[in-house]
């Protein structure tokens, strides 16, 4: 009677990962810089054009702060809850630039042959510059819209022009571009971000 009645022990047919030589490695697409510089500059400069409509829209949407004249020399007294409009002015501007950044992120992504970090950075810088110009333009438009031409009477209520008291609000536009473009790039999942049209 044989010691083993089962099939003979055979070596495993599955080879380890080190047994198959890799002759040709897949080439990863490199970041295109030189060819994208001129389109990136065009994107950044084009975005600055939108600073005027954003500033104009903010100067009309942002609520003014109403105050009462409490003395003959023009001293102003705050009305209840009116000081909250100082935050409202920042919030309106922040939402405008955030929405602008999201739209720019989507439109920039649709430039399929130029997808990559160069045009992405140009979009971020262009939105940041457009937001800064929109702040400058919007504040001056609001000041002109709420100009007081005659000295107010004692006890009268006047409206002060909207104002932006923090430069941190300028981060909302670039944030919108960054988040939108990053989500689209992650969703795409290709090494070249789909630049090749084939």
Domain count, the chain: 1
In a domain, 78, yes or no: yes
In a domain, 21, yes or no: no
What is the model's pTM?
0.77
In a domain, 105, yes or no: yes
In a domain, 73, yes or no: yes
In a domain, 191, yes or no: no
> What span, in angstroms and rounded, lies between the C-alpha atoms of 53 and 67?
29
Q: What are the tokens at 29?
A: 């697409």
pLDDT tens digit at each of 198 positions of the chain: 444 454 555 544 454 555 555 555 556 656 667 777 898 999 999 999 999 999 999 999 999 888 877 777 666 777 777 778 889 999 999 999 999 999 999 999 999 888 889 999 999 999 999 999 999 999 999 998 888 777 777 777 777 889 998 999 999 999 999 999 999 999 987 777 777 654
In a domain, 51, yes or no: yes
Q: What angle do CA 93, 128, 60 make, to 5 degrees?
A: 25
In a domain, 19, yes or no: no
Range of the domain at 151: 34-183
**Cα–Cα distance list, 169 to 44, 165, 173 (Å):** 20, 9, 8
In a domain, 69, yes or no: yes
């Amino acid at each position: 009677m044989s010691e083993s009645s089962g099939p003979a022990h055979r070596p495993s047919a599955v080879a380890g990962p080190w047994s198959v030589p890799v002759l040709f490695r897949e080439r990863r697409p490199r970041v295109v810089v030189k060819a994208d510089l001129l389109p990136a500059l065009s994107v950044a400069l084009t975005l600055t054009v939108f600073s005027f409509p954003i500033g104009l829209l903010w100067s009309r949407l942002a609520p003014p702060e109403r105050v009462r004249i409490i003395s003959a020399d023009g001293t102003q007294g705050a009305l209840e809850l009116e000081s909250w409009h100082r935050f409202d002015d920042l919030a309106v501007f922040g939402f405008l630039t955030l929405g602008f950044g999201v739209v720019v992120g989507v439109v920039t992504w649709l430039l399929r042959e130029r997808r990559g970090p160069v045009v992405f950075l140009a979009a971020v810088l262009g939105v940041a510059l457009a937001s800064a110009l929109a702040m400058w333009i919007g504040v001056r438009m609001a000041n002109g819209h709420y100009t007081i031409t005659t000295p107010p009477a004692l006890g009268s209520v006047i409206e002060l022009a909207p104002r932006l008291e923090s430069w941190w609000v300028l981060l909302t536009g670039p944030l919108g571009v960054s988040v939108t473009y990053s989500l689209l790039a992650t969703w795409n999942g290709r090494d070249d971000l789909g630049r090749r049209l084939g």
